[in-house]
Amino acid sequence: MKRILITGANSYIGTSFERYITEKYPGRYSVDTVDMIDGSWREKSFAGYDSVFHVAGIAHSDSGKISPEKEKLYYAVNTDLTVETAKKAKADGAGQFIFMSSAIVYGESAPIGQDKLITKDTPVSPANCYGDSKVQAENGIRPLNGDGFKVVVLRPPMIYGEGSKGNYPLLSEIARKTPIFPYVKNGRSMLYIENLCEFVRLMIENGEAGTFWPQNAEYSNTSELVQLIAEVHGKRVRLFGGFGWALKLLSHITPLVNKAFGSLKYDMEISIYSEPYDLVGLRDSIAKTEKTV
């Protein structure tokens, strides 16, 4: 039985992962969770754990300029805490450290009408301190790889599922309330929470090390996604074109437009793994997320 320590209590990804492997693979994994807020985690030994799954962090919830205090907090939690935890994991004798980075290390989505395809050779280009805090954390933990200690960096795109936060709940609310929605041709990589959990399990099971880019096997289009969400609720959303120009103008006023309708895709080649992890297709994942199945 492999022993796993989740560093970061009550996180969406951490709680989802623990529930996933205990329900799907009963008896195969032992999972413990430690709270990272009060500092008492420093007194806990990480010895004997096959893997430390680090999910503690501050999510990007700001639009526009942030305060110096918030910027300092991003680096304190997303960078410094991550590196300190990884160093402790290695010093205590844990076998592996898995860090949840993000596609945000490549910057924001491309503006409406432009494409953004990320390959294995695409350099990181963070657009804000949140993205940079993730890059600095990656740079701080990679040198720890070796001497029986393996470091995994995951750069997932937008993660969604039942109870998720961020952009998806907003799209879901729109889809359930509006009869019409603008059609914009864009492409986005997304990752359903159960597919992520299976990918993390495989990282642990196979004792992996390195940087990985997990994603669904299908790209998403924002307009079609809204339409699909409505469909699983038995509703119909009519898509209409011809308003791209208006959205482009609006994108100069608020960054939320490009965040919703811009493109950001991983090349499918960099997301292929030796074992399948995309166990739930896009349509079924939306139905499960919306609890209509």
pLDDT band at 104 (very low <50, low <70, confident <90, very high): very high
Residue of 75 and 242 predicted with greater confidence = 75
Extract the tokens encoding 40. Answer: 């008492």
What is the pLDDT at residue 23?
Answer: 97
pLDDT average, residue stretch 44-64: 87
| CA gap 161, 131 in Å, rounded | 23
d(CA 48, CA 149): 12
What is d(CA 207, CA 69) in angstroms, rounded to the nearest whole number? 38
Q: State residue 252's pLDDT score.
A: 64
SS3 content of the chain, % helix, strand, coil (to 5): 40, 20, 40
| Range from 63-77, 163-177, 240-254 carrying the lowest mean pLDDT | 240-254
CA distance 42 to 91: 12
Rounded distance between C-alpha atoms, residue 158 and residue 117, angstroms? 15
pLDDT recorded at residue 258: 76
The residue ranking higher by pLDDT, 129 or 255, is 129
- Give the span between the Cα atoms of 259 and 262, in whole angstroms: 6
Instruction: Write down the pLDDT at residue 261.
Output: 85
| The pLDDT of residue 89 is above 80 | yes
| Residue given tokens 């919703």 in the structure block | 260
The predicted-structure confidence for 160-184, as pLDDT tens digits, reads as follows 999 998 889 989 999 999 999 999 9
Distance CA 191, CA 273 (A): 14
- 68-72, 217-221, 257-261: range with lowest mean pLDDT: 257-261
Domains defined along the chain, listed by start: 2-162+190-217+265-280 (3.40.50.720)
Q: What pLDDT does 91 receive?
A: 98
Give the chain's length: 293
Which pTM does this prediction carry?
Answer: 0.94
For tokens 């940087």, the residue is 211
- Both tokens of 283, joined, read 């349509």
The identity of residue 13, as a single letter, is I
Average pLDDT, the chain: 93
Tokens of 89: 């994991």
